[in-house]
Amino acid sequence: MINVRSRWFLAYKLFAVRWPRDVRSTLSFLSILGIALGTSLLIAILSVFNGFYAEVQSMLLSEDPHVRITAVGTPHVVPDEVQIDWLQQQSNVEQIVVRVEGKAVLMGQQGSRGEAKLLTVMAESQIYGGTSSESAQAFKEGGDDKPTARELSERVLYGDSDLSVKEGRPGVLVSLNQANQQGWSIGDPIGLLSAPRLQQALTSVRPTRPLIANIRGFTASHPITGEPTATLDMGLARRLLRVPVGGTSLDVRLQDFNDAGVFVSQMDASGVWPSDHWRIQTWYDQQKSLYDVMQLEKRGATLILFMIVLVALLNIVGSLTMMVLQKRKEIAILRTMGLSKRELRSLFWLHGVWLGIVGAGFGTLLGMGLVWLQGEFGLLRLSTDFLLDAYPVQLQGGDVLTVLLGTTLCCVAATILPSRRAMNQEPIQGLHSL
């Protein structure tokens, strides 16, 4: 039997590349080049997809809670003292927020320009660290004037964040893009008509007046959808949307959003949140269709780019097949010296490993270099109308390792057919050609 060291030596002597002295060597060079190119493109493109995923995730998490709790069979969420107490006892819970959200028709009033348009009305109020009985009572009473979870002053782009009643009218924050479209300015009055009130106006002879509020400031629209929004005081939002108590959802923000899945499992196991009464969604569940599409696009791009590596693998098959024809004498001599078919096959595998390591290794370094250049200098720019200035990149070790191992294994697999042809060759046939 031949030891491993001897196999490497024989593989080197048998498959030594002397480019460009013959066609076989050129094919080997092209194989390595194709593998390197395919590997570098795979790593670079996967990093771009990872970067877009991270950016979209960050934008959505700025608006979406890590865990959202809604009621089954009713639009109102009114947790009891035991449930609030359970949430407050969890060490990884950072915020518990009561959220009121619904659709309303927004209309200009008293000379302000604009036409009726559907938008999202919202309000938020945080549950603070008081006793669970006090927090539960606040839900039942329906009156909550505590500050919002995310400070409004940080969300306001222009204007004031004060939503209190002044001069007989409450304040409202509207999205800046909607204000630009309608020609609104700070101080303009607008009318808000909720869906239940709109239905009442269409089915009743009694006149239904919209809620009149003065614009106090402008906020950004939803970072992904661009949906226009209007932010009101919690009590006013409840009256407008006809939410008598509680809210439309109970939003929980964790110290680490990656723990959302584990947190939901703990909620299910506690028995405090029965699934027939409560619907619990993680941040991923809330935007599942979008995240799934992004993952599908990533897998599709990976499959397409892998075709480049496949072309290089076909070159490997052709290169080794030609080598078998040209190295019949050497193979015959090795067989007569006692080299078994299994050991001969291992020589081809070692050659495949060598091609994979050289090609994939060089391609990995090239791909990582491209990712670094894009991350540091933003060489590939995006349109000025897009949310980002340049293509985002994020290099993940799992992707790099998968590409390296996958490419190397494919290179080894490409040696199967040529190795079988070499093993099926009788030593006497090669010796006759001497």
Question: Which helix (DSSP H) or strand (DSSP E) does residue 104 occupy?
Answer: strand 93-108
Helix, strand, or coil (residue 247): strand
- The encoded tokens of residue 12 equal 């080197």
Handedness of CA 172, 175, 178, 179 (dihedral sign): positive
- The encoded tokens of residue 26 equal 């050129």
Position of tokens 């050659």? 351
pLDDT at 50: 94
User: Is 18 in contact with 326 (CB distance < 8 Å)?
Assistant: no
pTM above 0.95, yes or no: no
pLDDT at 280: 96
- Tell me how far CA of residue 21 lies from CA of 24, 25, 166, 319, in angstroms: 9, 7, 89, 14
Per-position pLDDT tens, the chain of length 434: 556 566 556 655 665 544 444 444 666 677 788 888 888 988 999 999 999 999 999 988 988 899 999 999 888 888 888 888 899 899 999 988 889 999 888 775 544 444 567 888 988 887 765 555 656 666 655 544 454 545 677 788 889 888 989 988 999 999 988 888 888 899 999 988 887 766 666 666 566 778 899 999 999 877 767 788 899 988 899 889 888 888 899 999 999 999 999 999 999 999 999 999 999 999 999 999 989 999 888 888 888 877 777 777 777 777 777 766 666 776 776 667 667 777 777 777 777 778 788 888 999 999 999 999 999 998 999 876 667 889 999 999 999 998 888 888 888 788 887 777 777 766 655 555 54
pLDDT at 244: 83
Buried b or exposed e, range 205-239, using 16+ CB within 10 angstroms:
eeeeebbbbbbbbbbebbeeeeebbbbbbbbbbbe
The angle subtended at Cα 377 by Cα 376 and Cα 378, nearest 5°, is 105
23-30 own/partner pairs: CB under 8 Å, 24+ apart? 23/322, 24/319, 24/322, 24/323, 24/326, 27/315, 27/318, 27/319, 27/322, 28/316, 28/319, 28/355, 30/312, 30/315
The angle subtended at Cα 94 by Cα 129 and Cα 175, nearest 5°, is 105
pLDDT at 407: 84
> What are the φ/ψ torsions at residue 388 (nearest 5 degrees)?
-115, 150
End-to-end Cα distance, the chain? 26
Helix, strand, or coil (residue 82): helix
pLDDT at 149: 43
pLDDT at 145: 46
Look at residues 163, 156, 100 and name the one whose alpha carbon lies nearest to residue 126. Answer: 100
Q: Measured between alpha carbons, how far is 383 from 389 in angstroms, rounded to an integer? A: 7
